[in-house]
Amino acid sequence: MPKDGAPAELTRDAGAVLQMVFPETEAPAWALRALEARRLGGVVLFSRNLVDREQTAALCGQLREADEDVLISLDEEGGDVTRLEIGEGSSYPGNLALGRVDDVVLTEAVARSIGLDLLELGVNFNYAPCADVNANPDNPVIGVRSFGAESELTARHTAAYVRGLQSVGVIATAKHFPGHGDTSGDSHLGLPMVEYDEALELLHLAPFRSAIEAGTKAIMTSHILFPRYDTQLPATMSPRVLTGLLRNELGFDGVIVTDGIDMGAISGNWGVAEGTVRAVAAGCDALCWGGSREGEEAYLYLRDALVWAVREGRLSAERLHEAAERNRAAARWSRQARAAAASAVQDRSVGLEAARRAITVRGEIKPLAEPPHVVEFSPLVSLAVDSATPWGLAAPLAELLPGTTAEQIHAPTVGTESVGLVVTSVIDHDAVVDVAPVLARAAARPLLLCVRDLHRNPWMRRAVEAVRVARPDAVVVEFGLPHGDLADLLTYGGARVNGQAAAELLTGRTGTTGRKSEH
């Protein structure tokens, strides 16, 4: 593919629609060169790029010095999905907890505070909020990232989140259009299909309509087949979904950004180059690269795929230029709005307030009178969630009740599988966990069992039931979806503040309210 010789405007437009990644904690020379030449529209940051707040601000400053209007993106949803607080867990609960409280003023305040965190560091494009209605409790990828299973509730909180984030100049991204909430498959790993009838269409589209009415600057696509609109191509690559439905019917005129174009649903069926070209031709304006391959080689590969597609007549230069201009316009808007919000005052305590209000207790729980033994059952999480992010009760309880002990039981696996560019572990759902050592370590002490999505993990449920037979006094704390009948306490998410709120309730004591570190 050509690296030189293409018309300058064509090469700039091809680069302008790309949001690329790199492994370094400083901006690499190739990215700075591309930004200075206006041949790269943006970058996506992951936790591997971020050491602490000072380093993150310096990195963003490097990028912005090369191009003032670079789009710097990441997934900072709060709750289970954080990039800025990977080491300790988020200072904000996720969407399900906010939906549980159902106070749109609170949701807007949480989103505004997240936006101010990003503003302080120099990030201007947040892949949030999830506007998916989690209609399927067995959904493996959305879950607590959704405001809930009700369309109207999800719609009003999606709009509040968009308002809060964009009030400080950070671009909001309602995702994953036209709705990832009714799937039983994970598009990171394969190509799910959702059969919508008219009623389901209205249910799942309502939050996106609300996001558009609230002025969202971006909407992210889903790599899902929706036969009601297109029987051949997933939403990311479908003109009927993106141009026909999102542009023409719903009237959205902002940036349409893909979910990671290297996810298994695309890379495993069409390849990333073909997926990139088809996505832009269908109506996408920005290509998010998920990071399965990093650096200049991946950037040039995608950029030149777009250039060749225009030269071969498979993609019109006008469509590519339109996409590039939408990115440039969003960047200009953000620059002006961020300047206006530079003096905004932040109250980070809003995250813990929201987590405390979301807590639900089933039955009667007696306050802990002595340090307990905590068992955290860790399932496999979606690739959207960084598995290194801590969760649970061990840390906050150790602060409130010194002498607390803890252990983790990880999901039993039977190897890995590869789909396109994505490799993931395979869980052994029939595994039986030996709980006798757990009971021995917890002898004569209070016992707390922390679980996530107990209803979707048979190995975990069997272990919890076995413990309960021997220790009916063991308290089960659910950090995932609130389904099933075993949990005594529900947090509606695994953010640090969710664990802290639960620990406070269990002890009757108040812990730290601010960040635990500078990251």
- Per DSSP, what are the bridge partners of residue 125? 73, 171
Q: Are strands 360-361 and 489-490 parallel, antiparallel or unpaired?
A: antiparallel
Q: DSSP labels for 203-271?
A: HHHHHHHHHHHTT-SEEEE---B-TTT-SSS-GGG-HIIIIIIIIIIT---SEEEPSPTTSHHHHTTT-
Cα dihedral value 415, 419, 422, 426, nearest 10: -20
d(CA 279, CA 221): 10
C-alpha dist (Å) from residue 488 to 71, 140, 185, 365: 44, 23, 29, 8
483 part of the active site = no
188 part of the active site = yes
Would you give the DSSP letter of residue 54?
A: H
Q: DSSP labels for 87-123?
A: TT--SS--HHHHHHHT-HHHHHHHHHHHHHHHHHHT-
How is residue 158 written in tokens? Answer: 């999606």
Residue 517: alpha-carbon gap to chain centroid? 22
d(CA 162, CA 108): 8
60: closest CA among 43, 77, 75, 76? 43
355: closest CA among 106, 26, 54, 57? 106
Kindly give, in sequence order, each residue whose CB lies less than 8 Å from that of residue 266, ignoring residues fewer than 6 positions away.
Answer: 223, 234, 236, 237, 272, 275, 420
Out of 157, 176, 180, 188, pick the active-site residue. 188
C-alpha dist (Å) from residue 161 to 78, 203, 426: 11, 19, 35
- Which element (helix H / strand E) includes 66? helix 53-66
Out of 67, 69, 259, 453, pick the active-site residue. 259
Torsion sign across C-alpha atoms 496, 80, 96, 334: positive
Active-site residue numbers? 188, 259
